[in-house]
C-alpha cells in the first residue's frame, strides 16, 4: 500500500490526503504513480529471464493516463472491448502490443481490431475463428490469433472470478480445440500465433498455474502446432489485508521458465490487479453516523456504484480515517453507502477508533476493479480520479456533471 500515517495524518506517498480532500468533491479515487511503477517493475523483474510481453489488463483500471504511464514503461495492453482498444491506442500503446480477449466480441469490434492490426485476437469459440477468417478475407488481411483454452483447472479463488473450470463459459475445452484443429489450420486468412489461457483472478497459490501449464504442454503436443507465443493471462493475487496470502511469483516464474524451455516459445502475461490494486485509494466523506439496534452505521458518500467489489464479490477493503483521532473506541461499526440497496455496505468492525460526521475516510487497495467497475446507478455521477505524480496532484478524470447523465 502507498498509504502511511505521519502523526495523525494519512499520506499517499508524501502527499497529505486531507489537503487533497479539502479541495476536491468526494468521493474520488487517488492513485500513486510511484506505486504503479514499482509494481510494474517488480513484475517485470520477477520474470526477467522469461522476457515476457507484459500486456496490462485494461479492465482492471481503464484510465487513459494510467494506461499511458504504463505504456511509457514498455507495457502493452490486454483489452476486452472496442472501447478499451480505443483507449489503449489513445494512450499510445502500440497495436503490436495489444491483445484482444473476450468471449463475445461482436463483428464490429472484430472489424476494428483487425483494421487496427492488433498483435493478437484471442478466440474463444469455433464460430469466432470462422468469423475472423471471413472478415479478414474481405479486408484482404491475415489476422494473428491466439486460441484461448479452457484448461479445466479450478483456480481456488472466489467463484465469481474463476474462469478456468470446464463448466465456465470461457475458452475452448481441450477436446473441442483438438477436434477443431484441422479446420483451423485450413483458414487462409488466419495466422495461428498463440495458445492462451486465463484461469481467474486473485489467485494466491501457484498450484492452479502448475496444473494449467501441464495441460498446455499436453495440448501443444497433441495439436502439433508450433505456437510462437503462449499467453498465460493474469490473475496474480495481492494481499488486501496484512495477513492475506499473496502469490509467490518467484516460484511461479521458475515454473514458467521450465515450461518455456520445453516448448521454445515466447510468453505473454496480462496482469491487472498486481499492477494497480494496491496503488489506488477511494476517499470518501462521512455524511451521517446513526445507531440502529447494536450497530453504529457510518454512512459515507461513496456507494456501491462508485466501488462495487464489496457488493459484487463480498470483498473486504479496510477503511481508515484520513485524520486519526485519539479518542475513545466505538463498537459494532458498519460502513455503508447512501444507496437504497442492502448490498450497499462495505465493511464491519468490532471496534473502531472514534470518528466524526463530515470527516474523511480512505477505502484502501481499490486501484483494480474500482473505478473501472463503477456505474451511474441511482443517477450518480462517475467520480473524479487523481494521480499523484512526483508529488504533484493531477486530475486524470474529471467528475462527471449530473447534467451529462441527464
Ligand atoms: C482474459 C483476462 N486477462 C487478464 C485479466 C486480468 O486479471 P488480473 O487483474 O487478476 O491480473 C483478466 C481478468 O479477469 C482477464 O479476463
User: Rounded to the nearest 5°, which phi and psi values hold at 123?
Assistant: -85, 150
Testing ligand 1's pocket by substitution, the residue of 81, 268, 272, 370 carrying the most ligand atoms inside 8 A of its CB is 272
CA distances from 197 to 6, 234, 362 (A): 44, 9, 35
Q: What is the average pLDDT score of the chain?
A: 95
Determine the Cα–Cα distance for residues 242 and 231; give it in Å rounded to an integer.
31
Atom of ligand 1 nearest to the CA of 161: 14
Closest atom, ligand 1, to C-alpha of 368: 9
Measured from the CA of 274, which atom of ligand 1 is nearest? 11
- The residue to mutate among 46, 198, 249, having the most atoms of ligand 1 within 8 angstroms of its beta carbon, is 198
pLDDT recorded at residue 242: 73
Instruction: Please give the pLDDT value at position 241.
Output: 83
Q: Looking at the CA of residue 102, tell me the nearest atom of ligand 1.
A: 1
Probe residue for ligand 1, chosen from 76, 78, 233 as the CB with the greatest number of ligand atoms within 8 Å = 233
Closest Cα to atom 16, ligand 1: which residue? 198
Say if residues 35 and 344 touch (Cβ distance below 8 Å): no
pLDDT tens by residue, 368-388: 999 999 999 999 999 999 999
Confidence of residue 1 (pLDDT cuts 50, 70, 90): low
**What does the alpha-carbon distance between residue 119 and residue 113 come to, in Å, rounded to a whole number?**
9
C-alpha cell at 370: 474500482
Q: Give me the percent of the chain exceeding a pLDDT of 90.
A: 92
SS3 124: coil
CB of 375 closer than 8 Å to CB of 308: yes
Alpha-carbon distance of 165 to 152, in angstroms, equals: 4
The total of other beta-carbon atoms located within 10 Å of residue 305's CB is 23
Least confident of 136-145, 155-164, 210-219, 278-287: 155-164
Burial class from Cβ neighbours inside 10 Å (0-12, 13-18, 19+) for residue 45 reads: exposed
**Ligand 1 atom nearest residue 369's Cα:** 9
Tell me what pLDDT residue 287 has. 98
Find the 277 Cα to ligand 1 centroid distance in Å.
Answer: 12
Ligand 1 centroid from CA 283, angstroms: 25
| Alpha helices for 282-328 (secondary structure H) | 309-313
Mutation choice for ligand 1 from 235, 275, 367, CB with most ligand atoms inside 8 A: 235
Among 55, 181, 265, 340, the one annotated catalytic: 340
Q: For residue 285, what is its C-alpha cell?
A: 466523506
Q: How far is the CA of 193 from the centre of ligand 1 (A)?
A: 20
Cell of 359: 470527516
Q: 217 Cβ partners below 8 Å, 6+ apart?
A: 259, 262, 263
Q: For residue 185, how far is its CA from the centre of ligand 1 (angstroms)?
A: 28
Q: pLDDT tens across 83-96, in order?
A: 999 999 999 999 99
**How many Å lie between the centroid of ligand 1 and the Cα of residue 367?**
14
CA 359 / ligand 1 centre spacing (Å): 35
Measure 279 CA to ligand 1 centroid, in angstroms.
17
Ligand 1 residue neighbourhood (C-beta within 6 Å): 57, 59-60, 78, 101, 198, 201, 233-236, 270-274, 368
Mean pLDDT for 304-311 is: 98
Is 340 an active-site residue?
Answer: yes
Q: What is the mean pLDDT of residues 306-327?
A: 94
Q: Domains of the chain (ranges plus CATH)?
A: 3-31+278-405 (2.40.37.10), 34-276 (3.20.20.10)
Task: Tally DSSP H helices, then E strands, for the chain.
Answer: 12, 21
Per-residue pLDDT at 132 exceeds 90: yes
Of 49-58, 239-248, 298-307, 335-344, where does mean pLDDT reach its minimum?
A: 239-248
Q: What does the pLDDT read at residue 356? A: 92
Q: Is the pLDDT of residue 161 over 70?
A: no
Q: Alpha-carbon distance 277 to 240, whole Å? A: 9
Question: Whose CA is closest to atom 14 on ligand 1?
Answer: 201
In tens, the pLDDT along 17-58 reads: 999 999 999 999 999 999 999 999 999 999 999 999 999 999
Determine the atom of ligand 1 nearest the C-alpha atom of 273: 9
Residue found under cell 484461448: 148
- pLDDT at res. 42: 96
Residue showing cell 518455456:
260
State the pLDDT confidence band at 116, using cuts at 50, 70 and 90: very high
pLDDT tier at 273, thresholds 50, 70, 90: very high
> What is the dihedral sign for C-alpha 360, 365, 368, 369?
negative
Which of the 8 DSSP states describes residue 10? E
Amino acid at each position: 500500500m502507498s498509504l502511511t500515517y505521519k502523526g495523525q495524518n494519512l499520506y499517499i506517498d508524501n502527499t497529505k490526503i486531507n489537503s487533497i480532500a479539502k479541495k476536491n468533491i468526494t468521493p474520488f479515487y487517488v492513485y500513486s504513480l510511484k506505486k504503479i511503477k514499482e509494481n510494474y517493475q517488480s513484475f517485470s523483474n520477477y520474470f526477467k529471464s522469461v522476457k515476457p510481453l507484459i500486456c496490462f489488463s485494461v479492465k482492471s483500471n481503464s484510465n487513459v493516463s494510467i494506461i499511458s504511464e504504463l505504456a511509457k514503461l514498455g507495457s502493452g495492453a490486454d483489452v476486452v472491448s472496442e472501447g478499451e482498444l480505443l483507449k489503449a491506442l489513445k494512450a499510445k500503446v502500440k497495436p503490436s502490443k495489444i491483445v484482444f480477449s473476450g468471449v463475445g466480441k461482436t463483428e464490429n469490434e472484430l472489424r476494428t481490431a483487425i483494421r487496427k492490426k492488433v498483435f493478437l485476437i484471442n478466440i474463444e469459440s469455433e464460430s469466432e475463428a470462422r468469423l475472423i477468417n471471413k472478415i479478414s478475407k474481405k479486408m484482404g488481411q491475415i489476422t494473428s490469433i491466439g486460441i484461448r483454452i479452457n484448461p479445466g483447472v479450478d483456480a481456488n479463488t472466489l467463484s465469481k472470478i474463476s474462469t478456468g473450470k470446464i463448466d465456465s463459459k470461457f475458452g475452448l475445452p481441450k477436446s473441442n480445440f483438438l477436434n477443431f484443429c484441422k479446420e483451423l489450420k485450413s483458414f487462409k486468412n488466419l495466422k495461428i500465433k498463440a495458445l492462451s489461457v486465463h484461469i481467474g483472478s486473485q489467485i494466491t497459490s501457484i498450484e492452479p498455474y502448475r496444473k494449467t501449464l501441464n495441460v498446455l504442454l499436453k495440448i501443444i503436443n497433441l495439436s502439433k502446432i508450433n505456437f510462437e507465443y503462449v499467453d498465460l493471462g493474469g490473475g496474480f493475487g495481492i494481499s488486501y489485508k496484512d495477513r492475506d496470502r499473496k502469490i509467490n511469483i518467484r516460484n511461479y516464474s521458475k515454473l514458467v521458465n521450465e515450461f518455456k524451455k520445453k516448448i521454445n516459445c515466447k510468453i505473454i502475461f496480462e496482469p491487472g490487479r498486481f499492477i494497480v490494486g494496491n496503488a489506488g485509494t477511494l476517499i470518501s466523506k462521512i455524511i451521517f453516523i446513526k445507531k440502529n439496534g447494536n450497530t453504529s452505521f457510518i454512512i459515507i458518500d461513496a456507494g456501491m456504484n462508485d466501488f462495487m467489489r464489496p457488493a459484487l464479490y463480498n470483498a473486504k477493503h479496510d477503511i481508515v480515517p484520513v485524520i486519526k483521532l485519539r479518542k475513545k473506541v466505538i463498537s459494532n461499526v458498519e460502513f455503508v453507502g447512501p444507496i437504497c440497496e442492502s448490498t450497499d455496505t462495505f465493511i464491519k468492525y468490532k471496534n473502531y477508533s472514534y470518528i466524526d460526521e463530515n470527516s474523511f475516510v480512505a477505502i484502501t487497495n481499490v486501484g483494480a476493479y474500482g473505478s473501472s467497475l463503477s456505474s451511474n446507478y441511482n443517477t450518480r455521477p462517475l467520480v473524479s480520479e487523481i494521480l499523484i505524480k512526483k508529488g504533484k496532484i493531477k486530475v486524470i478524470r474529471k467528475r462527471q456533471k449530473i447534467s451529462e447523465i441527464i
